[in-house]
Every structure is written in structure tokens, then in C-alpha cells.
Amino acid sequence: MRRYIYLLLLLLLACIDPYEVDVEEGPQLLTVEGFLTTEEGPHVIKLSRSATYGSAFEGLVRPVREATVIIRDNLGNVTFLAEDLDNRGSYFTPEGYRAVVGRSYTLQIQLNEGQVYTSLPERIESVPEIKSLDYQIVRIPVEGETNERSGVQLIADLDDPADQDNFYFWRTGTSTFILKTRPDLFTERPSDLEPNRDPDPKDCCDTCFQTETFGNTGIFIANDDSFNGLNTKLPVGFIEDDGIRFVETHRAEISQISVSAEAYRFLRLVKQQTEVSGSVFDPPPANIRGNMISLDNPEEVVLGYFMAGAEAKQEIYINAVDMDFRQPVTIIPDDCRVLPNTTREVPPNWNPN
């Protein structure tokens, strides 16, 4: 219903602007975020504490360190997770650890201070393959700007199994794309010692491969109520065109993950909250309840969700020449290797057609 607001905006009646509200100091509630799948690990569980709503100055979400974190399956196997000392609050499973379809998994946490938490068991259901990925260009008008934003919406083609209730979550994986830069335009940053602003071209290099992992831009979920047992095509991800990612060839990757009905409900509430428009038609804010409980104090609120599911990956190569709309190319006047996550090596399995 965000569109309705566009109409009102357009009639020059409505407007949306930031508004100062006095939000009371928020409680520091334990927050759990984790995803265990059937792909080879390591899988990560992040622990943090909630903070006062607002910017980082009003409240900073802090990691929870030095907890003991284990995952237990219904056969009694216990796996310890180790905290990454460079990335506090993130606890990793051993390399190669993976979930098995048909088993149930429970996350258990003991904090340094002694409190014990557990998740409700999550059962791994099988997931169908993505038969193929396709994409379409999406253009997004921006209020008050002449240039539209745009990006690539990824569309999965899948055969939904008829014999089960499926709940899908799609995660955008790591993209790899050809990065073009202009080392010939390189200019040393002027300083007091070197006030020269003349170009100082570098010899190398104008072409690299860059990898980039996106946070989820939007939550992509579906249940099969409306397509049980059918072949269907659904939007499963979105990668914004920033003028760098889609210059030549881009390889995008999507994971299709089966989640439980409860996890789906949780994700739906998250999605609902991220898509709120403030309009007449918004549902009221909902309390997003997760699957973690405190064993010491049943009244204690624990945020977040420990999810577990089967995962199927699919990738697609997108050639810039095939795209019917692109952002103007961003010029980077430097050696492409200075940018993060870049390499001159052709990545493994790189075979665009």
C-alpha cells in the first residue's frame, strides 16, 4: 500500500519527514541470529544485546562475548561453536559442519555470567532445487530526484513439491563481477607536501574480479499456499545497480532454504516491519517473537531466531550488454586491485556463456 502514499504525495497533499520522538531507554535484551543449513559450514551464530531505538549514539547494539554456544541434534550429537576473536559476538561451527535433512537441531547458550538459554527444536525439511534463475530490471523512481534507482531482480524457477507444506526463504549469496577501473586517470591525493593535482597514471590494472556479499536487501520469503505442487517463478533477490556491479559480467548466487512454519512467521513479521509505509493500510506494529527462551527466567524476552533448514544454491551470469537499463558507469580512477575483495585471478568455476 506504499503506492497509495505515492498517489497522495503526487497530489502534493501528503508528505513524509523525519520526526523527533523521545524514546525511552531500551532494555538490553539478548538477541540471537543464526542460520544452520545443509551446506558445508562454517555456520555462524551471532549474539548481541538490543539497545535504545534510534541512531548508534542513542544506543549501540553490542556483541555478547565469551558465551558457550552449542548446537545439539535429536540424535544427541553436540557441536561446540567457537567465538571469532576478530569479530566478537560471532560464534562459528567447525569447518564442514552441516545439518542433515530430517534431524532436529537445538541451539543452547550459556553466557559468561551464567544464564542459560535454549531454542525450541528446528527440524530440517528437504528443499527443491532452483531449476534456473532469471532476472529482470527494476526501476525505482526516487521522490524529488530526476535519476531513478535501478537494479536486478532475480527470479527463481522452481518445482514445488506437492506432498509437503513448503516455507521458503531466499538468501542472496556472494556475487562475483568484473570490475573495470581507470588507472590511467589516477591522481595522487594532494597533500601539503605534494600539492600537485596532475594525473599520475598507473600502469596497472583496469580489470579485476570483485566479490561482494550483500546483506539482504529486502526479505524474500514465500509459502506454497498459492502454488503447491506447481512450477512457479518468484522474485527471490534484488541487487542494486551502483554503476560498478553491472559493467561487464556479473555472477549472482541465490540460496533457496526451507524453513519451519514458525521461522516463516518470524521472517514475515520482519519483512512486514521493514516494509512499513506509515499509511492508513499498515498493520499495527507487531511484537516479533522468536524461538529462544531463557531457562532461568521464563518471563525474560529473548529476541531473534535460530533458524535451520536445507539449502539449494543456484547461480546466474548477467551480461551488461543484455540489460535494457543500466546506471551510468561510475569511474574509479585507480588500480582495481586496491579495492577490497578483488583479484586478477579468474575465480573457480567462472564460465559465463
Partner 1 sequence: MKKLLLACLLLLSHLALAQTEVKREVIGRDIGQLNGIRISARVIDEITGEALVGATVSLPETGEVFVSDNNGTFDLVLERAEYNLVFRYVGYEEVQYPITAVGDGRILIRMIQEDFELEDVVIFGRDPDKNIRSTDMGAVTLSMNTLKELPPFLGEVDIIQSMATLPGVTQVGEASAGLNVRGGGADQNLIQFAGAPVYNPTHLFGLFTSFNPDMVNQVTLYKSVIPSRFGGRASSILDITPKAGSVDKWGGDLMLSNYSGKLSVNGPLVKDKVSIRGGIRGSYINWFLNSLSNPDLKNSQASFYDANLIISAPVSENNEFTYSFYTSYDDFGFASDTTISWKNTSHSLQWKSQLTPKLNLEALGYLSQYDYSIFNEAGSVNDFDLNSGVEDIGGKLFLQYGFSETNRITVGGEYKQVRIQPGELIPTSGPESGILPQKVQDEFGTEAGIHFQHEFELGEKVGVSYGLRYDTYQYLGPRTVREYAPNQPVTDGSAIGETTFGDGDQITTYDGLGPRASLRYSFNKSTSVKLGYNKMYQFIHLISNTATIAPTDVWKLSDTFIEPQVVDQYSLGFYKNFKGNIFETSVEVYYKDQENVVEYKDGANLILQNHIETELVPAQGQSYGVELYVKKNLGRLTGWVSYTYSRSLRRVITPYEEEIINDGEWFASNFDKPHVLTLIGNYKVSTNTSISATFGYSTGRPVTFPEAKFDFSGNNLAYFNLRNEQRIPDFHRLDMSVNFKLKGKGKFFDGNWTFAVLNVYGRKNPFSLFFVDEAGAPPQALRLAILGVPLPSLSYAINF
Q: Enumerate residues 253-292 that contact partner 1 by CB under 8 A.
A: 265, 268-270, 272-274, 276-289
Min. distance of Cβ 46 from partner 1 in angstroms? 8
Min. distance of Cβ 94 from partner 1 in angstroms? 23
Min. distance of Cβ 58 from partner 1 in angstroms? 8
Q: Is 83 exposed, middle or buried (0-12, 13-18, 19+ CB in 10 A)?
A: buried
CB-nearer residue toward partner 1: 230 or 295:
230
Type of residue at 286: A
Q: How far apart (Å, rounded) are the C-alpha atoms in residues 139 and 148?
A: 6
Interface with partner 1 (CB under 8 A), residue from 37, 304, 311, 318: 304
Is residue 12 involved in binding partner 1 (CB under 8 A)?
yes
CB-nearer residue toward partner 1: 307 or 336:
307
Which secondary-structure segment (H or E) carries 179? strand 174-180
Question: Which 3 state secondary structure label does DSSP give 260?
Answer: coil
Q: Phi and psi of 184, rounded to 5°?
A: -70, -20
Is residue 334 involved in binding partner 1 (CB under 8 A)?
no
CB-nearer residue toward partner 1: 178 or 257:
257
Q: Which three cell numbers stand for residue 246?
A: 553491472
Min. distance of Cβ 80 from partner 1 in angstroms? 24
Q: How far apart (Å, rounded) are the C-alpha atoms in residues 39 and 50?
A: 30
Q: How many residues bind partner 1 (CB under 8 A)?
A: 79
Interface with partner 1 (CB under 8 A), residue from 65, 131, 197, 233: 233
Q: What is the CA radius of gyration of the chain?
A: 23
- Find the binding residues for partner 1 in span 126-185 (CB under 8 A): 139, 141
Q: Which stretch binds partner 1 (CB under 8 A): 79-87, 218-226, 242-250, 319-327?
A: 218-226
Q: Is 138 exposed, middle or buried (0-12, 13-18, 19+ CB in 10 A)?
A: middle
Interface characters, 26-65, with partner 1 (x: CB under 8 A): xxxx-x-x------------x-x-xxxxxxx-xx-x----
Min. distance of Cβ 330 from partner 1 in angstroms? 17
CB-nearer residue toward partner 1: 253 or 335:
253
Which secondary-structure segment (H or E) carries 273? helix 261-274
Min. distance of Cβ 214 from partner 1 in angstroms? 8
CB-nearer residue toward partner 1: 19 or 198:
19
Q: How far apart (Å, rounded) are the C-alpha atoms in residues 46 and 84?
A: 10
Which secondary-structure segment (H or E) carries 234? strand 231-240
CB 258 within 8 A of CB 127: yes
CB-nearer residue toward partner 1: 122 or 335:
122
Count CB-CB contacts under 10 A for residue 312. 19
Min. distance of Cβ 95 from partner 1 in angstroms? 23
